[in-house]
Amino acid sequence: MLSYALLVHAAPYSTQGALSALRFAEAAIARGHRVETVFFYHDGVHNASTLMAPPQDEVHLGERWKRLGETAQTALLVCVAAGLRRGIVDGTEATRHDLAQYSVEPPFELTGIGQLVDAVLTHDRLITFPP
Amino acid sequence: MLSYALLVHAAPYSTQGALSALRFAEAAIARGHRVETVFFYHDGVHNASTLMAPPQDEVHLGERWKRLGETAQTALLVCVAAGLRRGIVDGTEATRHDLAQYSVEPPFELTGIGQLVDAVLTHDRLITFPP
Amino acid sequence: MTDTTQSASSSEALLIVLRHPPHGSSWLREGIDVALVAAAFGREVELLFQGDGVFALLEGQAAGALDQKGTHPQLKMLEMYDIERLWVSQRDLDRRGLTVDDLMLPVTTLDPDGVAALHAARPLSLIF
Amino acid sequence: MTDTTQSASSSEALLIVLRHPPHGSSWLREGIDVALVAAAFGREVELLFQGDGVFALLEGQAAGALDQKGTHPQLKMLEMYDIERLWVSQRDLDRRGLTVDDLMLPVTTLDPDGVAALHAARPLSLIF
Amino acid sequence: MTLHLIIRTPHSSGIFADLLDAFADGDYLLLIEDGCYAALPGAAGLDDAVVAGRIGVLREDAESRGLLARVAPSIEIVDMDGFVALTERFPKSLSWF
Amino acid sequence: MTLHLIIRTPHSSGIFADLLDAFADGDYLLLIEDGCYAALPGAAGLDDAVVAGRIGVLREDAESRGLLARVAPSIEIVDMDGFVALTERFPKSLSWF
């Protein structure tokens, strides 16, 4: 059994990258591995938005990530520097930046780049999903 | 004097496209033209987020677009189909989709693709800013 | 290969240029969406498949994993919207080892001069 | 051109591969940010400039319009973070009509075999 | 030994040149997403000599694009389970974009 | 007559081939953003014969990239005001990406 970290740069619904990452996570778990961390960077941070409202007949990426976090205890980490400038903020950051609304809720978690470096160093595998 | 429509596909802060579009708009106005419409499509819809919190020493794209809308009477139109799935929703759509928060406020306005077709047909010029 | 650029019925037709392949990104779907809306508004619409956009027409496409519908069902609706003029760059087919026999819809191929002439003949166009 | 792949002090160094040019996208800045954070955490970090990433090193860059700072100020901070091993693909310089004299920092060039050997020698790497 | 992943078509990008420069003995290349188009026999981009026998294409992505029956005979067809198996075999992976 | 805009480097993308196919008599090509790198004399991508004398580069974008002193002599340097002026002269513009 290996521990995996996935690095997701792809924005939701614009390219296939987020779908590929989700499919990979599910296939890895099916083979008995642990997907411990998904780190969202670059436009990948938009995957963490709690405000997605896709058509009923399309996959709801936010819900799928959330389900992965809950069922596989995968940490869903969002780069705070990449997120803040793109409108990806949780309640705490919204208050700090005087914003009336927010777009991120648990299990997604805003963190620093240090957590990505940590994931690279401590997991058995890192797989990157570009836009 | 010509009337311009700008089509912005570029996400904020990920590529230079939104900056190029803003610079073009300002230069066109300085030459006496009207920039009547900016239509945000694809990942360009993220420019409409009211939740951006960029570092102090970087341009605040949301504020710059808003200022353009207010000073030049430019319509800031956001494709609703592209926006909803990406977490770009106004208060009305948030209520309709049972979302507790929203990410779009006036002068940005969610509209259909028909408004893009209309802009192509009725303005003197259409300039596209890709990602 | 027929250069029928000059015979296009209206120089005011909206030309939608499709340059991206299906599934990998939303560009193709978003471009076709614009074409369908413009046609629904009564505007004459033509499509030009250029570059990797020729892959949009490849016969035998299917839905992808995780509810990815793809764009081939949309393309099959073109006729219903009276979008009947489909141009394809022959050189871009050649570059990819494809021929018109590999495509799912009847198209008119254009050589590079024809591609340039079509672009030049249409005052309104959008690239996706 | 010196192949010093084998002499790298630690096979556990983190290799950050930079393949995008400055200003046009945030890739370069985001890649350098990861390098600086890793170095601040005490990890040995090396940079490989490949493809359009070689443009990051071009002498004479400046801030852009609308407060675009660019990445050249970041690169000048590398030494402060003890990131001193900068590899550049000679072939990618050649392809762009550039030489090491066009670059703002001292670098070590690698031929294609050297690029492949460097990639193979580093168990930890990230491409931006 | 590195597993290389590529998601772009060979015609749309200059990545293939950089990837081939970085390809070492014992490495493997998996074509996914729009990278699958590089599996067409007529496609440009891949220097067969460098990657011969060490290249695969992701079944699901090739199938949805209508490529499954067209894949060049020298290219392996790999499903999602096989993709994960490749990441087990290769301790390092690089995604080119 | 069309104003063509390109934002990518000639090495990173296959767009230049498609753009040149679409380039007609009387058209003009303006290099902006990362497209400015195509203004380097040693850069691949542009077939001079097709676009000769009808190509410009955006000053601000070339300058920030350190390219201003390196632009090939056949390429015009155009500022933002000149960019707008080009859109006045050419009723149609196409952005390639």
| Cβ contact C–F (≥3 pairs, < 8 Å) | yes
Average pLDDT over residues B45-54: 98
Q: Which pLDDT does position D58 carry in this prediction? A: 98
Contact E11 F15 (CB under 8 A): no
Which pair of tokens denotes residue B89?
């929703």
User: Which of A9, A80, A115, A117 is the best mutation test for D, with the most CBs of D within 10 A?
Assistant: A117
From the list F72, F20, F70, F23, the residue with the least C-alpha distance to F46 is F20
Distance (Å) of CA E79 to CA C64, C114, E94: 13, 41, 19
Residues on chain F touching D68 (C-beta within 8 angstroms): 64
Give contacts of E92 with chain D, Cβ < 8 Å.
123-125
pLDDT of residue C113: 95
B51 touches chain C (CB under 8 A): no
Average pLDDT of the residues of chain B: 98
Across the range B43-69, mean pLDDT stands at 97
- Output the CA–CA distances (angstroms, integers) from residue D87 to D21, D84, D111, E10, E56, in the order listed: 16, 10, 10, 26, 30
pLDDT bin (cut points 50, 70, 90) of residue A87 is very high
Cβ neighbours of D111 in E, within 8 Å: none
Token reading at D126: 């990230």
What is the second-level CATH architecture of the domain C11-127?
Answer: 3-Layer(aba) Sandwich (3.40)
Residue partners of B118: CB distance under 8 A and separation at least 6: none
For B74-96, the pLDDT digits (tens) are 999 999 999 999 999 999 999 99
**What is the model's pLDDT at position D4?**
45
Give the global pTM: 0.96
Q: What's the CA dihedral at F4, F7, F10, F13 to 10 degrees?
A: -100
Res F42: pLDDT: 75
DSSP B15: B
Confidence (pLDDT) at E44: 67
C121 → chain F, closest CA residue: F1
Residue with tokens 């009387």: F26
- Tell which residue, F16, B112, F24, B33, has the closest CA to residue C123: F24
Res C8: pLDDT: 45
Q: What is the pLDDT of residue D11?
A: 58
Q: Any idea which architecture A3-129 has in CATH?
A: 3-Layer(aba) Sandwich (3.40)
Contact C51 F18 (CB under 8 A): yes
Res F27: pLDDT: 97
The domains located in chain E, with CATH, are: 2-96 (3.40.1260.10)
Residue C24 banded pLDDT, cuts 50, 70, 90: very high
Is B8 within 8 Å of chain C by CB? Answer: no
Average pLDDT, chain A: 98
- The pLDDT assigned to E43 comes to 74
Q: Is the per-residue pLDDT at B66 higher than 80?
A: yes
Which of the residues B35, B45, B79, B116 is marked catalytic? B79
Residues of C with CB under 8 A from a CB of E: 21-25, 51-52, 55, 58-65, 68, 70, 95-98
CA separation for the pair D37, F36 (Å, rounded):
31
Q: How much is the average pLDDT of C88-116?
A: 96
Residues in chain D: 128
Contact at CB, F95 and B31, closer than 8 angstroms: no
- Tens-level pLDDT at each residue, chain D (128 residues): 554 444 444 558 999 999 999 999 999 999 999 999 999 999 999 999 999 999 999 999 999 988 899 999 999 999 999 999 999 999 999 999 999 999 999 999 999 999 999 999 999 999 99
List beta partners, residue C25. Answer: A15
**Residue F44, SS3?**
coil
Residue E95's region, left for phi above 0, alpha for psi from -120 to 50, else beta, is: beta
- C1 falls in which pLDDT band (50, 70, 90)? low
End-to-end CA distance of chain C: 24
> Is B79 a catalytic site residue?
yes
Contacts of E31 in chain C (CB under 8 A): none
Q: Mean pLDDT for each consecutive 10-residue tract of chain F (97 residues)?
A: 96 89 95 96 76 94 97 96 98 97
Mind listing the pLDDT tens digit of every residue in chain E (97 residues)? 999 999 999 988 889 999 999 999 999 999 999 999 999 987 766 777 788 889 999 999 999 999 999 999 999 999 999 999 999 999 999 999 9
Contact F37, D55 (CB under 8 A): yes
Q: Looking up tokens 């920092």, which residue turns up?
A: D105
3-state secondary structure labels for all residues of chain C: CCCCHHHCCCCCCEEEEECCCCCCECHHHHHHHHHHHHHHCCCCEEEEECHHHHHHHECCCCCCCCCCCCCHHHHHCCHHHCCCEEEEEHHHHHHCCCCHHHECCCCEEECHHHHHHHHHHCCEEEEC
Give residue ranges of E with CB < 8 Å to any C CB. 7-9, 11-12, 33-34, 37, 40-44, 60-61, 63-69, 80
**For residue C67, is it left (φ>0), alpha (ψ between -120 and 50) or beta?**
left
